[in-house]
């Protein structure tokens, strides 16, 4: 079974955005945080804490169900994998995600879908992120 990304230690986050930058660099060949599949932002202004938005690795993902091009296929362990060649940029997956974890790359015309590859985990200096094996309850 595959592993999925979790952010269970966000109290340690300093907002360096290393995870977002490396996600963009590795998966989108860009250094723009706008092209990251993980989102880190403040909650409560400058003195607030940092929160994340990341794919939950759903077993029955609404994004895949909404995709009329069959560009999103179930990923072993949870979540989906994107077939960019099948996607025509309708954005139904973006609208369907109940937690807002699917972004959209305006330049490429494709959704930004987390592959749960773990590159963000590797570059988080405070261990806020981890790859975990999903239990039946999650």
Q: Which residue has the tokens 């955005």?
A: 17
Spatial distance between the Cα atoms of 111 and 63, rounded to a whole number of angstroms:
10
What is the secondary structure of 9-49 as a DSSP string? -GGG-----HHHHHHHHHHHS---GGG-SSEEEEESGGGSE
Please tell me the predicted confidence (pLDDT) of residue 77.
86
CA distance readout (Å), 45 to 8, 19, 49, 50: 21, 20, 8, 9
CA torsion through residues 124, 100, 106, 116, sign? positive
Q: Where are the domains of the chain?
A: 1-54+114-132, 57-101
Q: 64: which 2 tokens?
A: 């895949």
Q: Which residues of the chain have pLDDT under 70?
A: 1, 135-138
Q: 57: which 2 tokens?
A: 């690795």
- Whether the full predicted model's pTM is greater than 0.95, yes or no, is no
CATH topology of domain 57-101: Alpha-Beta Plaits (3.30.70)
Domain 1-54+114-132: which CATH number of 3.30.70.20, 3.90.1150.10, 3.30.470.10, 3.10.450.50? 3.30.70.20
Q: 80: which 2 tokens?
A: 């989906």
Please tell me the predicted confidence (pLDDT) of residue 45.
79
Please tell me the predicted confidence (pLDDT) of residue 1.
65
């Amino acid at each position: 079974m595959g592993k999925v990304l979790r952010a269970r230690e966000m109290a340690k986050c300093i907002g360096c955005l290393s995870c977002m930058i490396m996600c963009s660099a590795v998966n989108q060949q860009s250094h723009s945080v706008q092209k990251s599949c993980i989102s880190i932002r403040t909650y409560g202004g400058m003195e607030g804490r940092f929160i994340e938005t990341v794919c939950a690795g759903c077993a029955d993902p609404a994004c895949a169900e909404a995709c009329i091009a069959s560009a999103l296929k179930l990923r072993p362990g949870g979540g989906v994998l994107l077939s960019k060649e099948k996607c025509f940029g309708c954005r139904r997956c973006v609208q369907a995600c109940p937690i807002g974890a699917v972004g959209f790359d305006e330049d490429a015309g494709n959704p930004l879908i987390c592959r749960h590859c773990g590159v963000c985990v590797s570059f988080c200096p405070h261990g806020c992120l981890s790859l975990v094996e999903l239990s039946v309850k999650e």
